Structures are given as C-alpha cells and as structure tokens.
A = this chain, B = another copy of it.
C-alpha cells in the first residue's frame, strides 16, 4: 500500500535533512538514512513512547541506533520531534563541539541513548536496556502499579549482525525471553566495501529463530511502507515471551543515483547526485535543510503526545509512591545514583590470614549486596573463580527477573556491551567479571563505557603470571599498561584485603568513569591495619627509619614482595621506603605536594615492581630508576616456579636493587 502524501512528505523531510547535512559537512553516511527513514518514521510516530521535553523520563521507550553511522537519521528525528537539537545543530553536523558528531554519542546529545558507531555495540546495549527494564519491573512493579513498563527498540545494520558480539547478545536475549525488545534489521544487502553477497549469506531469519526469537520478514516491496511496518511492530508488541526480530529489506541510498550501491554508504552523494535525488523523490531543490512548516508541526505534535504519555505515567507513579514510599525512596535514590547511608562494610584484620584479593573482593560485594540493591551483574562463566556471585540474591532468568546474578556464559564482549546498556538505562550499578587476560575480548565495549563516562565496575581476577598453571594463553602482561593508556578509566590493583575494601568504597560512589578492579588468584598476606589511602592512588606503606635512599614502588601482589625485599636491602644498610601504588589515575589527581611527599624528587634510586609490562613506569622511577616487570609472555607452571623463573623473589629484588643502586653494599 502506498504511503499517504503526508507521510511521504515527512519521510522525505528526514531523508533530505540527512542528505543536506552530510553534503554540507562533506562527510558522512547518506545511504542508510535514505533507505531506513520510512520504517524509522513509522516507529517514531506510531509506536515509540518518548517525551522530548524530558529526555530522562525513566519509563520512556528506548531507541538505540546500533548503526551509529546513520546518526543523521536520529539527529533529524531529535530536531523534528523537539528534543534539544536545533536546525543549526543539524547544520553543524560533524563540526567541532557540535551536538551532532559523526557517530551518535550518549550523554553528549539529548535523546541519544547509547554511543554507537563501532558495529555490534548498539544491539548489545539494547539487550542491556531490556534486561534492566525486566529486572527493575520485577523489583518495583506492584499489582495495579506498573511504573516500569517500556519497550526497547534497536535498529541494526548488516555490519552489526556480522560482528560476533551480536551473536553473543542475540543468544542471551533469546535465552532470557526478553519480550519487550524489538530489533529492526535494515537489510539493504550492502556494506561499506560492496554488496553483502560477497561475504554475508547466512539466513538471518533462521539464525534468530535458532536463538529463540520471534521473527518477521518485510519484503523489498514494503521496506518503505509505513502501514506494513506499523503492522509488523504491532505484532512484535503482542509477542511477550520472546524478543522480536523484524528484517526489513530496504534500498540503501533510496531514490539517489547510487541506490543499492555500496558507494551510497559512507560518502556524500555530491551536489549533482543530491540534486538528482531531490528530483527523483519530488523534493524542492531549494532551499537546503528544508522543513515544511506542517511537517515540523506534525512532528512536534508527536513530541507533545509523548509528553501526555509521560504525564499519565506520572499519575501512576505518584499512586505507587504513596502506596510504597520505601520502594519509591529506593527507586529515586538509585535513579539519582546516590549511595544509601551506612553501607555495612566488612572489616579485615590480620586474623583473616592470607586471602586472595579475588576472595576479599567477593566478601566485600556480598557484605554490601543486601544494602545496595542496584548492584547487579555477573561473570562470563567464571563466577566460581572470580568470586563475584551475590549469594542469596537469585539468578536473572526467565521467570525470575528479580534475580541479581547474571549468567553471561563465555561471552565477555556481549557481557560488557550489555553492561553498558544496564548503566545507561538508569537505576542500576552494574558490574561484570572475567579473567584479566580476557579484557581483550571485551575492550571495544569498555572503551565506549569510558568515552561515555559510564559508572560501571569491571572485576578482573587472575591478574598476572602468578595465576600459574593455566599458562601464557591466560596470563595478562600488557593489560595494565593498556588500561592506563586508555582515557577515563580508573584502574586499581589492590595489595591486600584492606586495599580491596577501600577500592570498593570508592568505586560504588557516583563516578563519571568506569572502574577496573584487578585482583589476584593467589593468596596475599594482610599488610597490617593502616590508613591505606587507595583514594590517593599511592602511599608510603613502610618507611625507613632514616630518610629513604631507595624507594620500591609496587602494586597488588608485588607490594608484599617489596616489603620482604626491603628487609633484605636494609640489612645491607640502605634505608628503603616501600610505596604501594594501587592506582595511577588517582595518584595523578593529587597535589604536587602530596606526590612529592610519597616520591621525594631528591630520591632518584627508585625501583618499580609489578608483574606486568614495564611500559610507562619510567614516569615514576625516572631516568635513574629501574622498572622491574614482565616484558615477555608468561609460562605454565606452579606459582613458586614462575616467581623464581621471572625473578619475583625477595632475594632477587634485593639483589637487583643493590646491584643497581648501591653496588658497593651488595
């Protein structure tokens, strides 16, 4: 059925805002906005519940454009419906400091729910949003009071579905039976480098069927058909026991001379083709950025109707709040991202004996879990090893969405992409966990968490060659340096249970950066009651009686080693200070005065000790210092043998330090 002239006019308004903006920027992706405008229009005007006047309305439907390169499609809709994006912002597409960067970024532009562009991420985020909704609904809704009840929509492209992370999250969403999640697949048979038939020929409907989704197919004759899309979306709405997948066959670069060609994907059409496209679709050649007043009024009215929905919800909410004031207080506190007062922190003493930091981490999490209901997460099939299971708080499963432990399976990347969605949704403080070495598997999502300033917590255990027998395939080396080089990530490697406890106190507090906790597999001694000052990044854990002539700087498991080496070194008459430095980023934020009190500028004899790559340690040991670490791959062997082979013994550290800094006293 042909679209009404009014619908067609509005769809073309979206299309040509995108085409003109890309052309003006002389950079961007016109193809997908042309091809996907119609079905996205159908979604936004007929289904999506949102209020442009309150982009943070907690019960809004979420719209995630996984194909972030089609950002102009989203920006056009944000402007037209009345979000805080102006026509001038559209004209400043891809310019410095604009609200309209090349790929859409959450927290940067009102109405953008997730930072996308790197493919496959958005669909993972969308699953996270749907998990958050399901969990919060199970926690907060009461009979007659449905305060959490929204859908999550995602538009995915060919590239999104080629990326492996998509399979991880599709598999999980199907397993979890997330009935309020709908993925629209813009199937245009074209990617950047050519037609998809050179590389991507699986049957996507069959693939989603295999993962337990409800699937629908909209053929190429109906990819621009608003009524047909409306119908498919309605069917999806009525499927409540499974996520929905709607394959919409479209024409990339619809209406342009480059229609159905990969050349439409990622570069401006050029003035001639823009002109021809406007002619083909019956659009006035002038002016650029044309928005017919009726069209704008229509979209603004859609926005206002969303406002009415929000008002209606507010009434429901107020009734619920009166009936369940304590529940409401908790809900509002978590949305504000405030902490509850007086969390029941555990204490650790020497009597606990030697404890792996993964174990003390698990003990802290379990101590506070009852008082911190927003703490929600899981591991990539490793919770018996990472110790991150929240005992007594159930599993997030179909039929028990109130459970707080998520079984992500061996899917680190999907776990992290979902965690970003959980953090973006609001109401939760997500954590996720795996072995430190498998940071590599999830880094693309961690990077977007950092870029988007998300508050979430990564618990990485088995943090060095000292995991032992599993060997070099599992032993992180470059990982600390990698994270330290990544902007806006706080990386902490605690030395004992007390530092773990302090780290958790810091990382649950409101944060505009993700936290990474790097924990040991092996037992570590308790280093004594003290003001450990993890918050300051580094502190003197043991000083010499006289002014120090040598400083040993260590992190994590190597702090105890440094303390043992200090004894041997001092027996040779060299006054030695040991600095525990759990976190570079926090140390860098300290005053120059504090920094110099820990690392006095006149003490040049400095040695860093860390079971990882030495890259970057020159910053603290200086030209005359010595960075001791592991700049090769690990080995499969019992811990003690590895320590010996890699020189991580008190005797060897003492020998190296004396050889270098006090050769006469060796």
Q: Which residues of B contact A642 (CB under 8 A)?
A: 96
Stretch at the interface among A36-44, A234-242, A436-444, A561-569: A436-444
- Contacting pair B163 A168 (CB below 8 A): yes
Q: Which residues of B contact A163 (CB under 8 A)?
A: 164, 168, 410-411, 441
Residues A94 and B212 in contact in the complex (CB < 8 Å), given A199-B409, A411-B164, A440-B443: no
- Contacting pair B486 A637 (CB below 8 A): no
Q: Which residues of B contact A444 (CB under 8 A)?
A: 438, 440-441
Stretch at the interface among A1-9, A126-134, A467-475, A571-579: A467-475
Nearest CB of B to A614, in Å:
8
Q: Which of A102-158 contact B (CB under 8 A)?
A: 102-103, 105, 115-120, 158
Tally of this chain's copies: 2
**Cross-interface CB contact of A206 among B101, B103, B206, B636, cutoff 8 Å:** B206
**Cross-interface CB contact of A414 among B164, B623, B638, cutoff 8 Å:** B164
- Contacting pair B199 A381 (CB below 8 A): yes
- Contacting pair A202 B194 (CB below 8 A): no
Residues A165 and B162 in contact in the complex (CB < 8 Å), given A473-B116, A616-B615: no
A477 in contact (CB, < 8 A)? yes
- Contacting pair A478 B487 (CB below 8 A): yes
A86 in contact (CB, < 8 A)? no
Measured in the bound complex, the distance between the Cα atoms of B440 and A348 in whole Å is: 38
A603 in contact (CB, < 8 A)? no
A167 in contact (CB, < 8 A)? yes
Residues A478 and B486 in contact in the complex (CB < 8 Å), given A194-B407, A444-B440: yes
Q: Which residues of B contact A68 (CB under 8 A)?
A: 473
Most chain B CB within 10 A, of A27, A120, A472, is at A472
A527 in contact (CB, < 8 A)? no
Nearest CB of B to A67, in Å:
11
**Cross-interface CB contact of A636 among B101, B407, B473, B631, cutoff 8 Å:** B101
Stretch at the interface among A169-177, A179-187, A223-231: A169-177
Measured in the bound complex, the distance between the Cα atoms of B441 and A141 in whole Å is: 39
Interface string of A187-210 (1 = CB under 8 A from B): 000011110101111111011011
A293 in contact (CB, < 8 A)? no
**Cross-interface CB contact of A200 among B175, B450, B636, cutoff 8 Å:** B175
A379 in contact (CB, < 8 A)? yes
Please name the residue on chain B nearest to A397 by beta carbon: B198
Q: Which of A359-390 contact B (CB under 8 A)?
A: 379, 381-385
**Cross-interface CB contact of A210 among B171, B206, B645, cutoff 8 Å:** B206
**Cross-interface CB contact of A381 among B95, B159, B201, B211, cutoff 8 Å:** B159
- Contacting pair A94 B165 (CB below 8 A): no
Q: Which residues of B contact A95 (CB under 8 A)?
A: 636-638, 641
A632 in contact (CB, < 8 A)? yes
Please name the residue on chain B nearest to A267 by beta carbon: B384
Most chain B CB within 10 A, of A97, A193, A382, is at A193
- Contacting pair B487 A633 (CB below 8 A): yes
Q: Which of A387-413 contact B (CB under 8 A)?
A: 395, 397, 407-411, 413
Q: Which residues of B contact A473 (CB under 8 A)?
A: 68, 102-103, 105, 115-118, 448, 451
Q: Which of A583-600 contact B (CB under 8 A)?
A: none
A618 in contact (CB, < 8 A)? yes
Measured in the bound complex, the distance between the Cα atoms of B27 and A96 in whole Å is: 55
Measured in the bound complex, the distance between the Cα atoms of B387 and A609 in whole Å is: 43
A428 in contact (CB, < 8 A)? no
Measured in the bound complex, the distance between the Cα atoms of B485 and A636 in whole Å is: 21
Nearest first, the 4 closest Cβ-Cβ pairs linking A and B are A164-B164, A101-B636, A167-B167, A117-B473
Provide a sorted-by-A list of 26 A–B residue pairs whose CB atoms are within 8 angstroms: A27-B468, A27-B470, A27-B638, A96-B636, A101-B635, A102-B474, A105-B473, A118-B473, A158-B410, A162-B171, A162-B409, A163-B168, A167-B167, A191-B381, A191-B410, A192-B381, A192-B385, A193-B382, A194-B407, A199-B409, A202-B210, A206-B206, A485-B615, A485-B616, A622-B623, A623-B623
Given A94-B637, A482-B485, 10 more A-B residue pairs with CB atoms under 8 Å apart are A27-B468, A102-B470, A105-B472, A164-B411, A191-B409, A192-B410, A194-B407, A198-B397, A485-B613, A487-B633
